[in-house]
């Protein structure tokens, strides 16, 4: 398999090369709407071009987007916005564009979003919910700008060459045969990966879901700083499997071809969620902010996602195809669009709770990091020891007891929410809790290795 340099690497891997611009160091012109977004550069480029053309045509005067950077993904953006709003009535930014749904719920609960009422002809095309999940906030403070699915990207050439098993579900990634062949991503850096972990926890329940995340992490070769880079790692053949948002997974499939790379949505264990947009509190350019949301939610804005690159109304230089929030476009563009999944015809009994995800979002990323990422080297040694020849000499009952101890969650779900409501609000207690989790994780792994005679 050709694993030559992936030509879109610059666009897909945002590894900190973006600089953080002080929010008030530059004053935007009156024809500029200031937008902050975790989207990759291709989406920003195509959105800028299309919005400017749309605004000139509809309103008769120019408007451009000024993109503000936060030096990281969704988590870093939310942290920065909170910091700005703590000391200022405005963040100096008009719109937050992209990042899933949980961050928008979080900002809404903190009173940091502004209501927007789109034109009636646009609202008529967007359903309020999809499989029980809101696409439009009932208070109209945020809206789904597109739809995203979370799944597993697989390098079939590598998998077959190394004789690794096929993977169709999240639980398949817990197979110890996959050790060292799974690409991971730090959920503190990637909102989409944190949403995947949250989805797994909700789909399987807290205890079983945590056990699955632990086993998956034992198989991870390394945790990368962005979801895009993890998908690229699988596409290039440095890993055989990875969890990914459909945007990045399908991009690898498009480039390498389905004989080499595939992307699957675990049936009944994942959800199609809105990737949202909202006007922030006290926007410096409220009228242009409303115009920008109008464009993104309009037919023209939704066609930009659905049409193939190079076609009239589609992207010009970048492949940015994503699922639209307009159900009518799927049948209308059935023979044209590269998007082959119609989320409005995909039924699932699993209903994701965005309220639950939002409530524990910040603490969950740190808890996962303490047990699976910051202690990863020791964790992997313990995971390896549990499946070593020495472990195989133990009785099945003893083996199972040690495995159960390794996988067990560090606290109950009820205790986690108690931490959210109490200790997590105090910076000193928060730091102490984080350190405690890391120490407890290391102690557990080292104790298990000692019991197995491994070091």
Does residue 413 surpass a pLDDT of 80?
A: yes
**Which helix (H) or strand (E) is 262 found in, with range?**
strand 261-264
Percent of the chain exceeding pLDDT 70 equals 93
Q: pLDDT: is 5 or 143 the higher one?
A: 143
Q: How far is it, in rounded angstroms, from Cα 252 to Cα 436?
A: 39
Does residue 126 surpass a pLDDT of 60?
A: yes
What residue spans of 257-359 are helical by DSSP H?
A: 286-297, 299-306, 328-332, 354-359
**Residue whose entry in the numeric block shows the structure tokens 């499989």:** 131
Q: pLDDT: is 254 or 112 the higher one?
A: 112
CB 150 within 8 A of CB 243: yes
Q: How far is it, in rounded angstroms, from Cα 67 to Cα 137?
A: 25
Find the mean pLDDT for residues 48-54.
Answer: 97
Which class is 148-264 in CATH? Answer: alpha beta
Does residue 27 surpass a pLDDT of 60?
A: no
Q: pLDDT: is 367 or 271 the higher one?
A: 367
Tens digit of pLDDT for each residue in 213-259? 999 999 999 999 888 889 999 999 999 999 998 888 888 988 899 89
Please, is 193 exposed, middle or buried when counting C-beta atoms within 10 Å of its C-beta (0-12, 13-18, 19+)? Answer: buried
Does residue 82 surpass a pLDDT of 90?
A: yes
pLDDT of 191 reads 81
Does residue 359 surpass a pLDDT of 70?
A: yes
Q: How far is it, in rounded angstroms, from Cα 173 to Cα 293?
A: 39
pLDDT of 2 reads 43
The answer to whether domain 9-147+275-345 and domain 148-264 are alike in fold is yes
Taking the whole predicted model, whether its pTM rises above 0.85 is answered as no
pLDDT of 56 reads 97
CB 292 within 8 A of CB 33: yes
What is the CB-side half-sphere exposure of residue 386 using CA atoms within 13 A?
29
pLDDT of 455 reads 57
> Looking at domain 9-147+275-345, which CATH architecture does it have?
3-Layer(aba) Sandwich (3.40)
Does residue 84 surpass a pLDDT of 50?
A: yes
Those residues with Cβ within 8 angstroms of residue 90's Cβ, 6 or more apart along the chain or in another chain:
280, 281, 282, 283, 284
Domain ranges (residues) in the chain: 9-147+275-345, 148-264, 374-451
Does residue 10 surpass a pLDDT of 70?
A: no
Q: How far is it, in rounded angstroms, from Cα 182 to Cα 202?
A: 22
- Residue 362: closest CA among 220, 230, 204, 191: 191
Q: Which two tokens stand for residue 438?
A: 């890391």
Does residue 5 surpass a pLDDT of 80?
A: no
Q: Are strands 129-130 and 241-245 parallel, antiparallel or unpaired?
A: unpaired
Tens digit of pLDDT for each residue in 167-178? 999 999 999 999
Q: How far is it, in rounded angstroms, from Cα 82 to Cα 76?
A: 10
Tens digit of pLDDT for each residue in 68-80? 987 777 888 998 9
What is the CB-side half-sphere exposure of residue 318 using CA atoms within 13 A?
23
- Residue 55: closest CA among 238, 296, 249: 296
């Amino acid at each position: 398999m050709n694993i030559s340099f992936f030509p879109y690497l610059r666009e897909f891997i945002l590894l900190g090369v973006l600089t953080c611009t002080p929010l008030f160091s530059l004053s935007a012109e009156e024809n500029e709407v200031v937008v902050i977004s975790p989207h990759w550069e291709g989406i920003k480029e195509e959105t800028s071009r299309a919005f400017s053309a749309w605004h000139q045509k509809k309103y008769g005067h120019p408007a451009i987007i000024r993109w503000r950077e936060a030096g990281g993904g969704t988590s870093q953006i939310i942290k920065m916005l909170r910091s700005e709003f703590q000391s200022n009535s405005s963040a100096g930014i008009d719109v937050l564009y992209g990042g899933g749904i949980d961050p928008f719920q979080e900002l809404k609960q903190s009173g940091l979003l502004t209501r927007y009422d789109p034109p009636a002809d646009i609202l008529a095309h967007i359903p309020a919910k999809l499989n029980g999940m809101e696409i439009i906030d009932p208070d109209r403070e945020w809206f789904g700008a597109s739809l995203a699915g979370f799944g597993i990207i697989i390098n079939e050439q590598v998998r077959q060459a190394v004789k690794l098993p096929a993977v169709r579900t999240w639980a398949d990634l817990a197979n110890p045969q996959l050790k060292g062949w799974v690409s991971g991503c730090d959920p503190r850096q990637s909102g989409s990966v944190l949403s995947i972990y949250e989805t797994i926890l909700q789909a399987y329940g807290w205890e079983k879901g945590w056990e699955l995340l632990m086993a998956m992490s034992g198989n991870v070769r390394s945790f990368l700083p962005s979801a895009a880079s993890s998908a690229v790692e699988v596409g290039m053949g440095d890993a055989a499997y990875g969890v990914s948002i459909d945007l990045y997974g399908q991009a690898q499939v498009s480039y390498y071809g389905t004989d080499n790379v595939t992307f699957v949505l675990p049936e009944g264990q994942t959800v199609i969620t809105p990737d949202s947009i909202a006007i922030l509190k006290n926007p410096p350019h409220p009228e242009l902010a409303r115009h920008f949301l109008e464009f993104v939610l309009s037919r023209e804005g939704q066609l930009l996602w659905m049409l193939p690159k190079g076609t009239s109304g589609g992207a010009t230089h970048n492949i940015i195809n994503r699922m639209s929030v307009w159900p009518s476009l799927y049948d209308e563009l059935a023979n044209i669009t590269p998007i082959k999944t119609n989320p409005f015809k995909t039924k699932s009994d699993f209903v994701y709770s965005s309220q639950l995800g939002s409530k524990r979002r910040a603490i969950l990323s740190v808890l996962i990091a303490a047990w699976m990422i910051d202690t990863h080297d020791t964790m992997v040694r313990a995971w390896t020891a549990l499946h070593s020849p020495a472990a195989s000499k133990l009785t099945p009952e003893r083996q199972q007891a040690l495995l159960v101890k390794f996988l067990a969650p560090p606290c109950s779900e009820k205790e986690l929410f108690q931490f959210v409501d109490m200790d997590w609000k105090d910076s000193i207690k928060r730091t102490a809790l984080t350190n405690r989790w890391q120490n407890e994780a290391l102690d557990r792994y080292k104790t298990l290795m000692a019991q197995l005679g491994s070091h």
